Structure 1
């Protein structure tokens, strides 16, 4: 799409894009060679988290209570690796979406109408605020999983308590080649490395999530701008101005539709993983709650669960916003005086109407569209599965007695 940027143009999602470039998750030609960072970090997760966690599970006594936390952690890290891999494979498609959105917003950066100007200003502010606030919250919450236990142990050891119990290094692990809990000075560098990998993982995943959230919201807002501009077509009296504005609207609407389809193709497998992960983790955590009463264990597992539920909820809300915004276009078209226009303009409007009548949504592996209703269904499904599992466990216990 060609555009003539005005002096008021601005880079979309500037902070978020810089973080993706840093992580090697950006598809621009200048940064494609940085993809090795994402690949290398995925291998770090596998060999520093997944393999030691798996070795811990097979080296321990076959006690389900001991393995409860490692099982959930192993599952969560596996989901992280798969989602990062999906982003790496689709990074060029995401960059094309970003480039089209940037050019489309450049068309309206200097728009004199207040309704359009307020949307453009909102998009600019919201992307920066979301990225900065979300990163701050994730980093702060993650401190309870690694940093706080590490600092507590270091302080206790510094005050002469050399017999202090050494906690696990973020995740339960068995490094095989060395015993990281043999003494404090072996445990300390292992813990520091684990915390560094943890925050690296959070940086990668938060960059991924913020980019998806921002792009979905930007597309929805662009649909709203198209809706406002269609509503003003009746005000144009000059035929040349009318044709020029109609051409811009048709072009931007095509960008909206094309970007929505591309995002759907990228997000579809990721959303399927998230929904599966949410149902599994909800059932698993509720099962653990019904079996044990270790508050620290429950708190650490609840941290993982609330993160997944929040992701599902946020994407469901953004999916609803996208569906609602795209459906506004047909309403705006019907409210124009299309019957007074020449045949070429009516033909362009018909193409827009045909596009707007097609469902624009984000799906989970093509099974269902993400919206508020499907979020509720996912939660109900998880509780239903847990009820069945609890019933089977109760029957097994009764037979054992």
Structure 2
């Protein structure tokens, strides 16, 4: 739960940045140029802090996700071994339950990883929607800084092996389930 909470916390940091950008356009018409620049400076600082937190989160969670991924692969292999060799029905059932628990944990990480990537990438849409083209050159440059920073993909990876996302989870689960079904059909046909 701690890791899930950390990912959600960083996602919320990016959401706060997006909301601050939306509020930039709602500044009163009488707001001075200095006031707009100060507000944009705060947004830039918050965006930098959110990016830094995402980097720290990646350093912390990356090895754990790799271990989780490898654990899933090993348990799937063990399940396939139990099914093909007809070694022990209770062992296969226990391994299947372990597969489901690990798959649920990976699903939770994948869902939160996708959310983090989506929210962080949404910053570029928000800054583009901001009326930067009507602003002075100094504000335009600062808006471009945020835009350039937000182009970098932010998310959690399994030790830089792959980004943890719902799409990746679906691909991995589809391959594992398909291979398990093929092995079961082969073992049934052999008997």
Q: TM-score, normalised by structure 1?
A: 0.42
**Greater mean deviation of Cα atoms: 379-388 or 244-253:** 379-388
The correspondence of residues 114-125 of structure 1 with structure 2, limited to 5 A, is none
Compute the displacement of 1:264 (Å): 1.7
Matched residue, 1:218:
9
Compute the displacement of 1:230 (Å): 0.5
Q: Which has the higher contact order (CA 8 A, sep 6+)?
A: 2
Q: 1:382/1:276 Cα in 2 relative to 1: closer, same or farther (>3 Å)?
A: farther
Separation (CA, whole Å) in 1 of partners of 2:151 and 2:171: 26
How many residue pairs get matched?
187
- Per-residue Cα deviation, 1:103-159 (whole angstroms, up to 9, x for no partner): xxxxxxxxxxxxxxxxxxxxxxxxxxxxxxxxxxxxxxxxxxxxxxxxxxxxxxxxx
Is the contact made by 1:283 and 1:383 (CA closer than 8 Å) also made in structure 2?
no
Matched residue, 2:122:
328
Matched residue, 1:38:
none
Is the contact made by 1:289 and 1:298 (CA closer than 8 Å) also made in structure 2?
yes
Matched residue, 2:22:
231
Matched residue, 2:159:
365
Separation (CA, whole Å) in 1 of partners of 2:101 and 2:35: 50
- Per-residue Cα deviation, 1:299-336 (whole angstroms, up to 9, x for no partner): 43333222211111111101110111011111111111
The correspondence of residues 2-401 of structure 1 with structure 2, limited to 5 A, is 210-237=1-28, 238-239=31-32, 240-289=34-83, 291=86, 294-295=89-90, 297-383=91-177, 385-386=179-180
Separation (CA, whole Å) in 2 of partners of 1:299 and 1:318: 29
Separation (CA, whole Å) in 2 of partners of 1:248 and 1:262: 21
Separation (CA, whole Å) in 1 of partners of 2:152 and 2:89: 51
Separation (CA, whole Å) in 1 of partners of 2:165 and 2:158: 11
Unaligned runs of 5+ in 1: 1-209
Higher Rg: 1
Separation (CA, whole Å) in 2 of partners of 1:272 and 1:388: 26
CA RMSD of superposed structures (Å): 2.6
Separation (CA, whole Å) in 2 of partners of 1:260 and 1:298: 39
- Per-residue Cα deviation, 1:337-392 (whole angstroms, up to 9, x for no partner): 11222222222211111110111121223232111111012113324554676689
